[in-house]
Chain A
Amino acid sequence: MKQETPVSSTTRVVKRLLLVVVGMFGFGFAMVPLYDVICDITGLNGKTSGRYAEVAPVLVEDRKITVQFMAQNTEGMTWIFEPNDAQVTVSPGEIKVVSYRARNTSDFAMVGQAIPSVAPNEAAQYLMKLECFCFQEQPLAAGEEVDMAIRFFVDENIPEKITKLTLSYSLFDITDYEIEGEVITAR
C-alpha cells in the first residue's frame, strides 16, 4: 500500500465534493421535469394532461358527474372571457363539447394563453381532453370575438366520491412574449 500524502488525498476529497456540487446544481434543475412527472401521476397541482389520444372511452351510463366551468383573467388581461355553459352533467366516458367565449376589448391585437386547473386536484387526472383551446395560443385582433371549444370526457375510473368537478381557466396576456418570438408550450 502506497502511503498517501495529505495533499493528494485533499485533492481527491475536493474533486469528489466538487462533483457533488455540480450534481446537486443539476438536481435542482432536474426537479423541474421531475415535478411535472409527479404532478402528472398524482394530479398534484390540478393541471390537466395534454391531448388525450389513447383508447376510446368506456361509457358508464348509471353515473352522473357535474362538470362546472370557470374563467378568470390574470393581472393585465383585458379580454372578456367566460364559459358559454356554467355547468354540464355527463356520464363517465361520454364525450362532450362545451365552449368558452373570448373578446378582445382593446384597440390592438393581443395574444392570450389559457391555463387550466381542476378542483379537486385529484380529479385532474380523470378529465381527458380530446380538443382544447388551451392547447394553443389564441391571437385576437382588436375587437375580435371568438368561440373556443373543448371536447372532453371524464374517465370511467374516476373515484366514486367525486360527483362534481370544476374546470377553471386562467387567461394570461402573452402578447409581449409573442413579440420576442418565444415559443410557449403550455397545455
Chain B
Amino acid sequence: MSASHDDHHHGPAKGLSRWLYTTNHKDIGTLYLWFSFAMFLLGGTFAMVIRAELFQPGLQLVEPNFFNQMTTMHGLIMVFGAVMPAFVGLANWLVPMMIGAPDMALPRMNNWSFWILPFAFAMLTATLFMDAGAPNFGWTFYAPLSTTYAPSTVTFFIFAVHIMGASSIMGSINIIATILNMRAPGMTLMKMPLFVWTWLITAYLLIAVMPVLAGVVTMMLFDIHFGTSFFNAAGGGDPVLFQHVFWFFGHPEVYIMILPAFGVVSAIIPTFARKRLFGYDSMVYATASIAFLSFIVWAHHMFTVGMPLAGELFFMYATMLIAVPTGVKVFNWVATMFRGSMTFETPMLFAIAFVVLFTMGGFTGLMLAITPADFQYHDTYFVVAHFHYVLVPGSIFSIMAATYYWLPKWTGHMYDERLGKLHFWLSFIGVNVLFFPQHFLGLAGMPRRIPDYALQFADFNWISSIGGFLFGASQLILLVVVIKCIKGGKKATAQVWEGAQGLEWTLDSPAPYHTFTTPPDPKLIHAQ
C-alpha cells in the first residue's frame, strides 16, 4: 500500500507498466477509447473490403466466403469492439468527474475488465488467419448456420463472446456501484448529468442481457461439441428458439449502443445553445421507458419466421410505442436549441447531425416495425440503411462529438477547430452518400449479405461505395486531430466552453491524475 500511496502524490507511473497495472479511471478510460478507435479502424477496413467488392456487380476482389467473413467480422468488431468500449471509455473518464467521485468504485476490477478485451478480440481476429477462416454466419450468428454449418473457428468466436460479455458485465457492475455509492454530497439522483443517468440505465440493461448472450453461445458450444440439441431440429430442438434467445439479448443491445449517445448529446446541445436542457425530468423518464420497452419488442427482428397474428400485432405495437419516449427526447433537444444563442463548434455540429440523422434512422425503424411492410423489407438493404443510420451518424457521431467536446479537458489543449470542422463535413457528406442510397436499394429488393447483385442495383451501389471510401478516409482526420491535440495546441481553460455546466468543468485542464479526493463544494452542484 505504501508504494501506491506514494504514487498518489507523484502522478502516474512511467512506461508500459503504468497502463498494464493502472487502476486510475482516467487511464482506463483512455485505454478503452484508444482500443475502441483501433477496432473502429479495423472494422472500418473490413467495411472498405465490402464496399470495394460491391462497387461493381459481379465478383471482383474477394471470394463469396471471404465476403461473408468480412460482413460478420465487420458487425462483430464494430458492435462489441468499437461502439461498446468507446462508451465504456467515456463512462470511465466522465462518470467519476461528473458526480464528484475520486475514482470508480472497483478500480482493480476496472483494470481487469479492460485488459481481457484485447485478448478477446485477438482471438476473434486470429480466426481470419486460420485454415477454416473467420466466422462467416453474420453477426447475428443464427443457428444452424453457426452450429451445424459453421467453420471450426466458431469455438474461438464463442469464447471471444464469453470474454467480451464478462468484460461488459464487470464494467457495468462497476459503473452502477460508482453511481449508487460514490456521488458527492448534494449530488442527488435527479441532479446527475444525463450522461450519468443514461449510463446507469445502460449498465442495468447490460447486466440483464449480457448473461443471456453468454447463455446462447454456451448452448451453441454444447450443440457443436457435446451433442446436445438446443437448436438442432433432428434432436428435437428448434432453430427458431435461437432467434428468440438471441434477440432477447439483441434488442436491448441496440439501446445499450444508443442510450449513452443520448446522454452525450444532452450534455453538448445545452452548452452550445447556452440554455439549460429542456425537460430534464422527462429525459430521465423517457430513457427509463425506452429501457423497459426494449425487453418486449425483440420479435420484431423475426416477423417472417411464422408467428401467430396476435404475436405479430403485439410486437408491432410495442415497437411503435418506443417512438413516443424517443420523440420526447428529440423534442427536448430541439426545444433546447430553440431561441438559444447557438454557436457551431465541432462537437455541436456532430450533435446536431446526430439529432437529424438519428431521427431519420428512427423513422425507417418505424417503417420496419409495420409487420406487413416488414415482409417486404426483411433482410434487404433497407434494414442495412436503417441500422447504419442509427449506429453511424447516431452512436458513432455522438462518440465523436464527445471526443471533441471533452478532448480539451482530457489533454489540456484545444483541438484544431479547422481540422475538426473538415472532419465533420467530410463525415457528414460521406455517411449520407454511403447509406442514403441503400434505402432505395433495399426498397427495390436488394438482399443484404451478398457479394454480387443484379445489374439494376449497380448505380446506387457505385454511389454508396464512393460515399463509403470518403467516410472511411475522413476518419483518419480524427486520428490526426487527436494526436495533434495531445502533443500541443492552444492551452485550454478549466471552463473550456463558455456555456458548459457540470463538475468536470470546475477541474483544471488537463484534469489532474487524481480528482475530487475531497468531495466538491455542494454549492457547485446545480439543479439540471
Residues of A within 8 A of B (CB): 6, 9-10, 13-14, 17-18, 20-25, 27-29, 31-32, 35, 39, 42-47, 74, 113, 115, 121-122, 170, 172-174, 177, 180, 182, 184-187
Residues of A within 8 A of B311 (CB): 42, 44
- Least CB distance, B177 to chain A, in whole angstroms: 5
- Least CB distance, A73 to chain B, in whole angstroms: 12
Residues of B within 8 A of A (CB): 105-106, 169, 172-173, 176-177, 180-182, 207-216, 219, 227, 229-230, 233-236, 238, 240-241, 244-245, 248, 306-308, 311
Q: How far apart sit A24 and B240, CA to CA, in the bound complex (Å)?
A: 20
Residue of B nearest to A184 (CB): B235
Extra inter-chain contacts (20) besides given A14-B173, A28-B245, A174-B235, CB under 8 Å = A6-B181, A10-B177, A13-B173, A21-B169, A24-B210, A24-B211, A25-B211, A25-B214, A28-B212, A31-B212, A31-B241, A31-B245, A32-B241, A35-B241, A42-B308, A43-B308, A113-B234, A172-B233, A180-B227, A184-B234
A selection of 6 A-B contacts at a CB cut-off of 8 Å is A17-B172, A18-B173, A27-B211, A31-B245, A32-B241, A173-B234
Of A22, A42, A185, which contacts B236 at CB under 8 A?
A185
Q: How far apart sit A21 and B307, CA to CA, in the bound complex (Å)?
A: 30
Query: Is B241 a contact partner of A14 (Cβ separation < 8 A)?
Result: no
The B interface, classified by DSSP as helix, strand, loop or mixed, is: helix
Query: Is B248 a contact partner of A31 (Cβ separation < 8 A)?
Result: yes
Q: How far apart sit A161 and B213, CA to CA, in the bound complex (Å)?
A: 40
Residue of A nearest to B213 (CB): A28
Query: Is A17 a contact partner of B176 (Cβ separation < 8 A)?
Result: yes
Query: Is B238 a contact partner of A45 (Cβ separation < 8 A)?
Result: yes
Residues of B within 8 A of A177 (CB): 227, 234-235
Of A24, A74, A172, A186, which contacts B212 at CB under 8 A?
A24
Residue of A nearest to B214 (CB): A25
Q: How far apart sit A10 and B106, CA to CA, in the bound complex (Å)?
A: 8
Q: Using a Cβ cutoff of 8 Å, how many contacts connect chains A and B?
A: 115
Residue of B nearest to A25 (CB): B211
- Least CB distance, B101 to chain A, in whole angstroms: 9
- Least CB distance, A187 to chain B, in whole angstroms: 7
Residues of B within 8 A of A186 (CB): 229, 234-236
- Least CB distance, B206 to chain A, in whole angstroms: 10
Residues of A within 8 A of B219 (CB): 28-29, 32
Residues of B within 8 A of A184 (CB): 229, 234-236
Q: How far apart sit A31 and B172, CA to CA, in the bound complex (Å)?
A: 24
Q: How far apart sit A44 and B172, CA to CA, in the bound complex (Å)?
A: 35
Query: Is A17 a contact partner of B181 (Cβ separation < 8 A)?
Result: no
Residue of A nearest to B308 (CB): A42
Of B106, B236, B308, which contacts A44 at CB under 8 A?
B308
Query: Is A35 a contact partner of B238 (Cβ separation < 8 A)?
Result: yes
Residues of B within 8 A of A23 (CB): 211
- Least CB distance, A135 to chain B, in whole angstroms: 11
Query: Is B106 a contact partner of A14 (Cβ separation < 8 A)?
Result: yes
Residue of B nearest to A24 (CB): B211
- Least CB distance, B137 to chain A, in whole angstroms: 16
Query: Is A45 a contact partner of B212 (Cβ separation < 8 A)?
Result: no
Q: How far apart sit A113 and B240, CA to CA, in the bound complex (Å)?
A: 19
Do A28 and B215 form a contact, CB below 8 Å, given A42-B308, A45-B240, A185-B236? yes
Residues of A within 8 A of B210 (CB): 21, 24
Residue of A nearest to B212 (CB): A28
Do A20 and B177 form a contact, CB below 8 Å, given A14-B106, A174-B235, A187-B236? no
Residue of B nearest to A174 (CB): B234
The 7 closest A-B pairs by CB, nearest first: A28-B215, A172-B234, A186-B236, A25-B211, A24-B211, A28-B212, A13-B177
Residues of A within 8 A of B208 (CB): 20, 24
Query: Is A121 a contact partner of B306 (Cβ separation < 8 A)?
Result: yes
- Least CB distance, A121 to chain B, in whole angstroms: 6
Query: Is B308 a contact partner of A121 (Cβ separation < 8 A)?
Result: yes
Q: How far apart sit A13 and B173, CA to CA, in the bound complex (Å)?
A: 8
Residues of A within 8 A of B181 (CB): 6, 9-10, 13
Residues of B within 8 A of A174 (CB): 234-235
Q: How far apart sit A122 and B180, CA to CA, in the bound complex (Å)?
A: 48
Do A13 and B180 form a contact, CB below 8 Å, given A28-B215, A45-B238? yes
Of B214, B233, B244, which contacts A35 at CB under 8 A?
B244
Residue of B nearest to A35 (CB): B241
Q: How far apart sit A47 and B236, CA to CA, in the bound complex (Å)?
A: 10
Residue of B nearest to A43 (CB): B308
Residues of A within 8 A of B234 (CB): 74, 113, 115, 172-174, 177, 184, 186
Q: How far apart sit A45 and B308, CA to CA, in the bound complex (Å)?
A: 9
- Least CB distance, A13 to chain B, in whole angstroms: 5
Query: Is A25 a contact partner of B238 (Cβ separation < 8 A)?
Result: no
Residues of B within 8 A of A13 (CB): 105, 173, 176-177, 180-181
Residues of A within 8 A of B207 (CB): 17, 20-21, 24
Query: Is A28 a contact partner of B236 (Cβ separation < 8 A)?
Result: no
Q: How far apart sit A174 and B180, CA to CA, in the bound complex (Å)?
A: 53
Residues of A within 8 A of B248 (CB): 28, 31
Residue of A nearest to B180 (CB): A13
Q: How far apart sit A11 and B50, CA to CA, in the bound complex (Å)?
A: 47
Residues of A within 8 A of B172 (CB): 17
Q: How far apart sit A13 and B181, CA to CA, in the bound complex (Å)?
A: 9
Residue of A nearest to B239 (CB): A45
Residues of B within 8 A of A185 (CB): 235-236
Residues of A within 8 A of B229 (CB): 184, 186
Query: Is A45 a contact partner of B180 (Cβ separation < 8 A)?
Result: no
Q: How far apart sit A187 and B105, CA to CA, in the bound complex (Å)?
A: 52
Residues of B within 8 A of A115 (CB): 233-234, 236
Residue of B nearest to A11 (CB): B177
Residues of A within 8 A of B182 (CB): 6
Q: How far apart sit A185 and B229, CA to CA, in the bound complex (Å)?
A: 10
Residue of A nearest to B174 (CB): A14
Query: Is A44 a contact partner of B307 (Cβ separation < 8 A)?
Result: yes
Residue of B nearest to A117 (CB): B233
Residues of A within 8 A of B238 (CB): 35, 39, 45, 47
- Least CB distance, B212 to chain A, in whole angstroms: 4
Of B173, B215, B236, which contacts A25 at CB under 8 A?
B215
Q: How far apart sit A128 and B210, CA to CA, in the bound complex (Å)?
A: 40
Q: How far apart sit A180 and B228, CA to CA, in the bound complex (Å)?
A: 12
